Chain A
Amino acid sequence: MANGMLAGRVAVVTGAGRGIGRGVAMALAAAGAKVVVNDFGVNVDGTAPSSGPAFDVVKEIERAGGQAVASPESVADWEGARRIIGTALDRYGQLDVLVTCAGILRDRMVFNMSEEEWDAVIAVHLKGTFNCLRHACTHMRDRRYGRIITFSSGSGLFGNPGQANYGAAKSAIGGLTKVAARDLGKYGITVNAIAPVAGTRMTVNEEVRRARELRKQQGIQREDRGVAQIEELDPDDIAPMVVYLASEYAKDVNGQFFLCFGNSVALVSQPRPVKTLYKAEGNWTLDELDRLVPTTVAEGLVNPAPAKG
């Protein structure tokens, strides 16, 4: 293992107790990194913390001959995140790689979503990603080396009904990733985002199946972008791209988004102007926009949820 792509490196993986995060932690360890396995050990909805999942993954890594330490803290807490990063520094003396997978779900149509459902999801995904990044990057900046891989989602990039909180958080993580890449790149730190699609307890459970059936009955389509049945997508398929981005080979890959599912990895484009309308002098008038918009910037647009009688 001393010859692995990440030999001598130290990594923190949040939400590493299960699913995609677990696969990432195992793969980083297999590539030679010493890994802080962070998991608050909660249910998908964020309730009932337990240190069990983090310790289980540490044992698995150790059984496979790797080195790891458990950190059962909540990323949503500023001080908790400081302790997660501190565990890497105290235990292994440095931090080279941060992977932020921790997240929860509280799906609800926006008109019924409670303040608590909004706050809980934003706190874990968005603030949790910021907290860990913020504490990690000061250390990485001092050492002029770092690899940060955040987790966004197709829900944030493309929009899934019933996920105003999750979609906003995941899209915001995308924005945070782009800004952090610009703030930190000159110090030898890269920041990239993965949008994964995989079958985990977050995406494959009875509630999700019921919601999917309901949507089908009501004619609301999620845009799965040609992705195969999610149940069949192995969460461990996400890890290889993460290990690559965490390695020295990816030193010039910065501020990018990648969609990972099954045996596919895709570069995701940033939003850019695709149709334009321009007036050189004077302010637009509504008469002009009424006349010009339908045949220019709005031409061919499809309403993703057309009004029903």
Chain B
Amino acid sequence: MAKRLAGRSAIVTGAGRGIGRAIAELLAGEGAGVVVNDLGSAVDGTGTSTGVADEVVAAIRERGGNAVANHDSVADFAAAERLIATAAKEFGAVDVLVNNAGILRDRMIFNMSEEEWDAVIAVHLKGTFNCTRHASRIMREQRRGSIISISSTSGVYGNSGQANYGAAKDGIAGLTRVAARDLGRYGITVNAVCPGAMTRMAATVPQTARERRTERGLSTGLGERTFPLQNFGPENVAPFVVYLATDAARDINGQTFLVMAGLVALLGYPAPVRTIQRDRRWTPEEIATIFPHTFGMDLVNPAPAKEPT
């Protein structure tokens, strides 16, 4: 079978390790020329190393693929423009953008510093905007393009200790929904993927917390159905991301998917589920009276108050 992305050009941010690397390698395996972007930082965003992106490029070339390295920070508007221009210059187009770069600075919100907030928002959210903005100008002229941004269940469900990361990742989902509407008419699709995989980033989360979240996320999210989730490698996230970049997915636009360990799930848009309505304004007292029996019925407090110990 012919390679699905032969002659196409792709950019993967944060492609030096983990999920980004798996995506870059699979894109190259399908024939795309890939710009492997990675600043080479630690999980917390400190330090840089050109070797991380270079090694992935070498691995792709060894298997006969086509790739170049880029070491710019996506958090910098001008640097992101250079990154996108690299694809245009090296491969003659910008067909695929995968926004994957990210860092972590977990802290309970009451202790989070301004710097911890700013750093995470800058790389994830502004970085995704920067690359989307610059790539979309070229894609719009081409009237073709696929943008896939990595969001997270941390944003969708809310993970304790991740105010910065959860906000950034839900922000990426919101940006995806708007960009899909801004760009769809030009033949561009914009979708988001919430991945689950064992990477060095996931390894920073305590095992007990991870187990609790996995249980909670899947049991609330999937109702009665449960799935034995095995095969948690980043290589099991990459195929669906690459699928979204192929012509087969040209009509999938503005969606968010959960992809982990063999599971691919479409996440529904938020929607009003229970409504109260009448012909004049409610009073707060009236809402207090009817709320528990009407639209507030059966709500669960995710973190009920505890007496001080």
Say whether, besides A171-B170, A179-B154, A266-B275, A110 and B270 are in contact (CB < 8 Å): no
- Do B4 and A286 touch (CB < 8 A)? yes
Measured between beta carbons, the chain B residues less than 8 angstroms from A253 are 291, 296, 299, 301
A268 near B270 with CB under 8 A, answer yes
Partner of B167 from A179, A186, A249 at Cβ < 8 Å: A179
* Given A161-B182, A263-B280, A273-B221: A244 and B288 interface contact (C-beta under 8 Å): yes
B304 touches A185 (CB 8 A): yes
Output the least CB separation between B59 and chain A (Å).
17
Number of interface residues of B (CB under 8 A): 121
User: A-facing mask of B185-197, CB < 8 A → 1, else 0?
Assistant: 1110100000000
Stretch at the interface among B9-17, B44-52, B255-263: B255-263
- Is A211 in the interface zone, CB < 8 Å from B? no
A156 vs B174: C-alpha distance in the bound complex, in angstroms?
A: 5
List of B residues within 8 angstroms of A133 by Cβ: 109
Closest-by-CB residue of A relative to B141 is: A111
Residue of B nearest to A288 (CB): B239
Binary per-residue interface labels of chain B (227-239) against chain A in the complex, 1 for a CB within 8 Å, 0 otherwise: 1101101011001
Indicate if A301 sits at the interface (CB-CB under 8 A). Answer: yes
Q: Chain A 164-178 against B: per-residue CB contact (8 Å), 1 yes, 0 no?
A: 110111111111111
**Contact (Cβ within 8 A) B252 A298:** yes
Determine whether the beta carbon of A159 is less than 8 Å from that of B178. Answer: yes
Taking CB atoms and an 8 Å cut-off, the chain B residues in 239-281 that contact chain A are: 239-240, 242-243, 246, 248-258, 262-281
Beyond A175-B155, A269-B273, A305-B184, whether A183 also contacts B171 by CB under 8 A is: no
Which one of A8-16, A36-44, A134-142, A198-206 is at the B interface? Answer: A134-142
Total residue contacts A-B, CB cutoff 8 A: 385
Residues of B within 8 A of A (CB): 1, 4, 30, 77, 108-110, 112, 114, 117-118, 121, 125-126, 129-130, 132-133, 136-137, 140, 143, 154-164, 166-187, 189, 220-222, 225, 227-228, 230-231, 233, 235-236, 239-240, 242-243, 246, 248-258, 262-288, 291, 295-296, 299, 301-306, 308
Contact check, B264 vs A297: say whether CB atoms are below 8 A apart.
yes
A301 — which chain B residues lie within 8 A by C-beta?
251-252, 255, 266
Q: Judge whether A252 is part of the interface by a CB distance below 8 angstroms.
A: yes
A residues adjacent to B (C-beta < 8 A): 5, 27, 31, 78, 109-111, 113, 115, 118-119, 122, 126-127, 130-131, 133-134, 137-138, 141, 144, 155-165, 167-188, 190, 220, 225, 234, 236-237, 240-241, 243-244, 247, 249-257, 259, 263-287, 289-290, 293-294, 297-298, 301, 303-308
